[in-house]
Structure 1
Amino acid sequence: MTAEIENAFAEIRRRSGPASIARVERMMETGNQPRHPLQRGAKWIMPGLSQRPWHDPYEYAELAPVVETLESSHPSIKDELSEAWATRQGAFSDYEHYLTRQKDWQALYLFRRGRLVDESASLAPTAFRVIEEMAVEPEKICPLLECHFSTLLPGAAIDPHCDLWNFSINLHLAVDIPDGCGITVAGEHRSWQEGKCLLFDYSFEHEAYNSGTRPRTCLLVDLWHPDTTLPEREALVVLFTEIRRLMGDD
């Protein structure tokens, strides 16, 4: 642990109590933390968080307002996304997952590298406003990650994989869903229902595909896992910001 991390952690413990970030510190200990077999590909497993692949989007009071507002705003979000795809497709880019980069997986970012992507406000104003007001300002979004429109082109498939950690959770608003699309998390297959949200823990192995004849688009939002506390979130941001800096990825 670097001096920057040690000093920041000490300050968090001083303000919030000696045990306030104990789970984060246990996560950092040498050796693998207990995990589900289908989380074996995840690098960081923070102990004490619910180990469920799928979550009810409405079960958490913290997240329900985000879900409700996105779903009620779906008609406008879909119209604006369709216009952007038809007229400004150059604003989309190959999605850069930490494991791969795919030309048949396109992204339009609304939030990235800890900030809103202002250039996208004119392309997707409704989604941009909802994410800003409901996720960014109340600090429900995980600033270590992102929010983007995820567009799988016809025939595209995302191979089975685990994401890096379990302390954030992935919300999907189904924006434009053709027939022949689906997602599997920890062996359980589901389909998106247009205008509705899915919520899952992407530290579990998951995959997705579009076997349809037109693009499939969801709005993806990386939110803090509701089981994490505010001191833990502060410590996690410090920790992974420093790790990325040391890796030259800041």
Structure 2
Amino acid sequence: LAARDANREASFYFNAFVRLAGEAPSLPPDLSEGLRRARAAQDRIAAGMQALINGELEEAGYSAGTSDRRFTHALDILTGRKQPYLQQPQAFYYPELPNIQFYPREQFPWMDAVEAATDAMTAELNAVLEDQSAFAPYLKTQPGMPSRPDYPLIDSMDWSSCFLSKDGQETPNAARCPQTMAALKDAPLCRVRGRSPQIMFSQLKAGAHIQPHTGFVNTRLTCHLPLVVPPNCQFRVGNEVRSWARGRCWAFDDTIEHEAKNGSDRARVVLIFDIWRPELSEEERTLVATLLEAIDAYSPQAATWD
């Protein structure tokens, strides 16, 4: 196929062979040589295709830095620079919602007021930080439920939270942070009785790593407003990695695999809250909330959305 310039078809078979051979613990010499040739052919075909694509796209006016972000994402997946990540909610899947890792900031004009309150929020956070009893491990062992003793952050203060609203109810900490709560008054907070909104200061200690995971329901987005951000802290959603910047808010889909790392020597603190997905109508939000509340009413609440 490659000799006849049927490059796409040849690439399909080369890729299949490399994938199968990669699953074998060991290969005889003739297959090892074949694997080497297949990988070299993969690289040759990919380089030729990339050169052709680059030339055609350049003539069409494409620029990686300024052209449509979604097209660039598709191109990166096609050429193997990135892999596709899809929503994987653990509890409830709502169909026909787009797989967007980080949402464009301009979709949320109400974030202007949230960001403007950064200094006021930080002052309230600093007062709370003086009383570390306000923070508790984000992941806790639940009596009577299976646990993961191998996961280093369970019952650990390396990843801790101070909730202002938990499971849809304001906590006493909300009264200690009135300006933080006021700054969120125009945010379309996800409201599900007994579940949401969740509003918290999330603290990640130096060297801590929140391993890849996915959230529970894809009808909401999670928002971060960084308040204390030392250098070398990174956050990945799907195949996009970002660094937090103090006072700059973002929204992401937490049902797409994500993880966080603090590579600094100081703690990182972010305000986290959840909002309805903008694609949902008011009717859909009401029906989704009613459905999830009915499920909780039927069965004792065994797991949180944290």
Query: Which TM-score band applies after superposition, normalised by the shorter structure?
Result: 0.7 to 0.9
The answer to which structure has the higher strand fraction is: 1
> Using a 3 Å threshold, how does the CA distance of structure 1 residues 147 and 43 change in structure 2: closer, same or farther?
same
Q: Does the CA-based 8 Å contact 2:101-2:256 persist in structure 1? A: yes
Where do residues 141-152 of structure 1 align in structure 2 (5 Å cutoff)?
141-143=190-192, 144-145=195-196, 146-152=198-204
Q: Does the CA-based 8 Å contact 1:53-1:201 persist in structure 2? A: yes
Q: Does 1:116 align with 2:159?
A: no
**Higher RCO (CA-CA < 8 Å; seq separation 6+):** 1
Aligned length: 205
Q: Deviations over 1:27-60 (max 9, x none)?
A: xxxxxxxxx754346443212222211112221x
Where do residues 158-197 of structure 1 align in structure 2 (5 Å cutoff)?
158-197=210-249
Deviation of 1:91 (Å): 1.1
- Which one of the candidate residues 75, 92, 116 is aligned to 1:44? 92
Instruction: Find runs of 4+ consecutive structure 1 residues off by over 4 angstroms.
Output: 97-100
Alignment match, 2:255: 203
Q: Does the CA-based 8 Å contact 2:105-2:251 persist in structure 1? A: yes
- Which one of the candidate residues 45, 60, 64 is aligned to 2:109? 64
- Which one of the candidate residues 109, 123, 139 is aligned to 1:96? 139
Alignment match, 2:15: none
Alignment match, 1:26: none
Larger of the two Rg values belongs to structure: 2
Letter matched to residue 140 of structure 1: L
With the length of structure 2 as denominator, give the TM-score of the two structures.
0.62
**CA RMSD of the aligned region, Å?**
2.2
Q: Does the CA-based 8 Å contact 2:102-2:237 persist in structure 1? A: yes
Question: Structure 2: any 5+ residue segments left out of the alignment?
Answer: 1-83, 148-152
In structure 2, C-alpha distance between the alignment counterparts of 1:142 and 1:190, rounded to whole Å: 28
Q: Does the CA-based 8 Å contact 1:142-1:168 persist in structure 2? A: no
- Matched residues, percent identical? 27
Alignment match, 1:244: 296
Letter matched to residue 117 of structure 2: S
Give the secondary-structure state (helix, strand or coil) at the position aligned to 2:200.
strand
Question: Structure 1: any 5+ residue segments left out of the alignment?
Answer: 1-35
Alignment match, 2:43: none
Q: Does the CA-based 8 Å contact 2:89-2:217 persist in structure 1? A: no
In structure 1, C-alpha distance between the alignment counterparts of 2:274 and 2:210, rounded to whole Å: 18
Deviation of 1:154 (Å): 1.0
Alignment match, 1:84: 128
Give the secondary-structure state (helix, strand or coil) at the position aligned to 2:278.
coil
